[in-house]
Amino acid sequence: MYADIIVDISHEHLDKTFQYAVPDHLLDEIDIGVMVNVPFGRGNKIITGYVVNLTKQPSYDILKIKDIKEIVPQRVKTVERMIQLAAWLRHNYGSTMNQALKTVIPVKDKIQAKQRKIISLVVSKEEACTVLEQFQKKHAVAMARVLQALINEGKCDVSDIQTKLNITAKTIQALENKGLVQIETEHIYRNPIKGTILQNESVELNHQQKEAIHTFIEDYNNKIRKTYLLYGITGSGKTNVYIEMIEHVVNLGKQVIVLIPEIALTFQTVQRFYRRFGDKVSIMNSRMSKGERYDQFKRAMAGEIRIMIGPRSVLFTPFNDLGLIVIDEEHETAYKSEQSPKYHARETAVHIAETMSASVVLGSATPSLESYYRAQQGLYQLIKLDKRATGANLPNIYVEDLRKELNEGNRSILSRRLAAMIDDRLKKHQQVILFLNKRGYAGFISCRSCGKVFKCPHCDISLTHHINHYGNELVCHYCGYRQPEIKVCPECGSKYVSGFRAGTQQVEQMLSQTFPTAKILRMDMDTTSKKGSHEAILSSFANHEADILVGTQMIVKGHDFPHVTLVGILAADMSLYVSDYRASERTFQLLVQAAGRAGRAKMPGDVVIQTYTPNHYSIEAAKEQNYEQFYDEEIIFRQMLGYPPIQNILKISISSKNEDALLAACQDIAKWQDKIKSELLTKSKRSALSAESGLEMRMNGREELQITGPIKAPIYKLNDIYTQIILVKSKDYEILTDFKDKCDIYVRDNVMYKNISVQYDFN
Ligand code: ADP
Ligand code: ZN
Ligand code: ZN
């Protein structure tokens, strides 16, 4: 028996399987998905690897095939479908197989599930009280403290007692020797959401919610599996809809995965699921230890957990009969991985669902252009909720023109309207949220007098200010276009040409000067770096311990603050001009989600959006809270410039520490890509001819494949590594993956690329 093995080294040049022989004594244990130790290379260094295939046919000279050394003990065996999924990720997003395997196997080690020691009284409470008095008289403080705790609570966790009451193991031993307490070892699975109150949230679902659930259940019972886009405005009660759908699927004995962006994965949200499903539901998050994660996986595999909630990595929960994947806030950027393979959880979920005959429900108040486009094309089924479930009205939205404020002599960060409204809320003892989108902090460049934004002539993406050894430059983050800094606005002659450069800290200072009596909380990266500080700030604000909360986008997500009646967005443009083709989409989403924080309860809410470009369609559509209006404009922009979802983009980053080697490689690859381009195009035409239906579309598409670059990356040198980029665009995703595969093969066997790394990023 021979095993094909992916070695645990993520290097492009080793991205292939290696064959080893299975020694007789391992025949029983060997299986696809197990982890093994093997001798590798000339020195026969022992390294680990995953078995991805078993065969009786050797592919090499059997005299040269080495033996597997051993099976790594204490490893979780990977289920076979995860290996197939890894291959799919590798194909569609580009990475080594080893990186892809690491992605689909988030839990590798069998870490011993925690054993808990429980201490309890062996004597009656009355007796314990008598002994307690004696201890106190004798000043045996430590023993007295333990007894007191046990009298109050009955049972306690030994490690809790030790840490919280500052007790040593000796003291506990002494109590045990005196025959007062006993210690029992309890083997437990840790349920991370235990200890919450079980109280059913009973709301009478409204007509729209019932319709949505009915559609899903009807299909499900008719064995129809598909992807639904649940487009429901903020506060329309999407969570209740998910819960009913989930219950239906769980009652059929199937399992469910629920993705929620980590930032929105708050206690409040999780509790709503826990209340309905109790111990059947569990969560994963990045703060959990390896042992805790292993426990959850084991419980999932054993069928004890039926619903797993968490960020994108819970997609890889090894359920064996998955029935449904729910993705809440499906438009969130956090669903795309920043490491290779740079997979998107939404697309991956749809793929997993197809392979396991499950359905997918994507939910959002501001769907991604991709999802809404697919719904329009009939690939996803659109379900709409357009009323707030609590009956509360949507807020009043005011758009304030900051150019006008400046021209009329107001140089403050606050428009006159926003300042007056804050003052009014403080008097009424209501709360205010001020939101500063920090995404574009490094700065788009605009004229503060006329609002003109300086954009790349090739990409229609705003230029970003960079300081380097050429001096001040404006750079396009897409194509690498550069031009000297602009000092005077070519449109109106004003000298106020700059980036918007106020941070949350300055805003906080300015507020405390303007409103000296107001209590202000700030929430941003600086104030939330300590564990738990995030929750502390939010709960303090929820308890009305402050009047104003100033923060970055992290305050926008999923919190209900009933006393908030005013939300101010200080500079809506900041996200409008980050150099990203999704900038308008992000802005619209942020504005709508931020506005959704105002007036959630009985009191009506107001929203003030401050901007230099009040006529931009994403701001106009946000003012109307009208997603379709936004979509109709945005899809035209994507169409004209060939951005997703109309076309697909592959970004190839080529980097090296050696600049000369990099430049030589780029010259070489430029020649290679011209050759490959014509090859790919003839190939796609040929395949189109055989597949009749695609024929017309293919032949009419003039530019099926566009290549730009290699060109310097916007940040050309970072940590001593130089990077050049190539952008490849095509309507046909498969042409891009073909391009990637061919590039991979070309680079792998070419000495010129020995010290050069090639990375892929799709869309
Ligand atoms: P979304 O996720 O769509 O923004 P949520 O699911 O958070 O909305 O629901 C918003 C609020 O409305 C929650 O407090 C929820 O308990 C409440 N809610 C949901 N459905 C109903 C209903 N049918 N009747 C009354 N309140 C509801
Ligand atoms: Zn100007
Ligand atoms: Zn450009």
* Mode of pairing for the β-strands spanning 181-187 and 2-7: unpaired
Specify the ligand 1 atom closest to the Cα of 596. 4
461 Cα to the center of ligand 3, angstroms: 7
> For the chain, which ranges sit under pLDDT 50?
187-189, 195-198, 439-442, 686-702
Pocket test for ligand 1, best of 240, 362, 364 (most atoms within 8 A of CB): 240
Which tokens sit at 329? 């806030």
Residue 630 identity (one-letter amino acid): F
CA pair distance 312, 564, nearest whole angstrom: 31
Closest CA to 725 of 476, 479, 462, 468: 479
Map residue 189 onto helix, strand or coil.
Answer: coil
Q: What is the pLDDT of residue 439?
A: 46
pLDDT recorded at residue 302? 82
Q: Is the CB of 237 under 6 A from ligand 1?
A: yes
- C-beta of 593 in contact with ligand 1 (< 6 A): no
What is the reported pLDDT for 14? Answer: 77
CA of 482 to the centre of ligand 3 (A): 9
55 Cα distance to chain centroid: 39
Q: Which letter does DSSP use for residue 602 in this model?
A: S
State both tokens at 408: 């009329």
Ligand 1 atom 5: residue of nearest CA = 237
Q: In this predicted structure, what is the pLDDT of residue 533?
A: 76
The answer, yes or no, to whether any atom of ligand 1 lies below 6 A from the CB of 238, is: yes
For residue 206, give the ligand 1 atom closest to its CA: 23
Specify the pLDDT at position 601: 65
What's residue 687's pLDDT?
Answer: 47
Distance CA 555, CA 538 (A): 8
Say what the pTM is. 0.80
Q: What is the DSSP string of 48-95?
A: EEEEEEEESS-SS-TTTPPBP-EEPTTBPPPPHHHHHHHHHHHHHH--
Residue matched to tokens 């986008």: 553
579 in Cβ contact with 463 (< 8 Å): yes
Query: Is 366's C-beta closer than 6 angstroms to any atom of ligand 1?
Result: no
Task: Give the helix ranges, DSSP H, for 560-626.
Answer: 573-576, 583-595, 617-624
Q: How many CB atoms lie within 10 A of CB 24?
A: 9
Per-residue confidence (pLDDT) for residue 649, from 0 to 100 = 93
- Ligand 1 neighbourhood includes 240 CB (under 6 angstroms): yes
User: Which residues fall within 8 angstroms of residue 326, CB to CB, at 6 or more apart?
Assistant: 242, 245, 246, 256, 257, 258, 259, 360, 361, 363
Spacing, Cα 455 to ligand 2 middle (Å): 14
Query: How confident is the model at residue 440, as a pLDDT?
Result: 39
DSSP SS3 for 557: coil
Query: Other C-beta atoms within 10 Å of 335: how many?
Result: 22
Q: Which ligand has the minimum distance to the alpha carbon of residue 486?
A: 2
Q: Is residue 558 in contact with ligand 1, taking CB distance under 6 Å?
A: no
- Distances in Å between the alpha carbon of 560 and those of 198, 472, 556, 597? 20, 44, 10, 7
The Cα-based distances of 539 to 521, 533, 534, 536, 543 in angstroms read 11, 10, 9, 5, 6
pLDDT tens-place string over residues 661-699: 999 999 999 999 988 888 877 765 544 444 333 333 344
